[in-house]
Amino acid sequence: MSVVIRYFAMFLAGVWMLGVGASSASAVDEICPMGGAMIAAETDHDKVVAWAKGRPKAAITDAGATDWSVLTLSAADEGIAVFMTPGKVFFGVAGRGGETNPKDIEKAFGADFAKLKDALGKTLADLAAAGVVKLEAADIQAIAGAAGLGVIEKGAGGWALTTRACQAVDLPTSGL
């Protein structure tokens, strides 16, 4: 099953590369963020790969500094998957890689997003300490405070959540 996860991660990375090459769209446009929280933040390829290799459950696709992905489970809650590619960290529902529904999302993140906020805070702090993402402690607190379904990006007014209409999917973690 881990082979399926690796191919899915490679497929998502390929879709991302096609999207970036074909348009000037945001780096967070390739996955529907409405199944979780997508953080737009600078990532360090080498440190991401090193960090992921130390995880007990992780699928790593590494074809170079601009073509890589990591799929793992949140240390805070194994019902929450973490998917990283260049410039983004996505916290989604751990599942089988198909469409997800509001009930699954609420079960994974909590009715008030408490589980998601906890996973964001703990995982992003761990990633920042390892140098994987370039975020300060104040950024991490602001991101956790803005937690919800959609894209969390830093703008002129600070970190803010934006949403869009698309079909939410879960992340294929059953083989991890």
Question: pLDDT digit string (tens) for 149-175?
Answer: 999 999 998 999 999 888 888 899 988
* pLDDT reported for residue 111: 84
Strands annotated E in 80-143: 80-85, 88-95
Rg of the chain over CA atoms, in angstroms?
Answer: 15
Q: Which pLDDT belongs to residue 64?
A: 87
Three-state SS for 144?
Answer: helix
pTM for the predicted model, two decimal places: 0.79
* SS percent in the chain: helix, strand, coil, step 5: 40, 25, 35
pLDDT of residue 122: 94
Total Cβ atoms within 10 A of residue 23: 9
pLDDT, residue 26, reads 34
Parts of the chain with a pLDDT under 70: 1-30
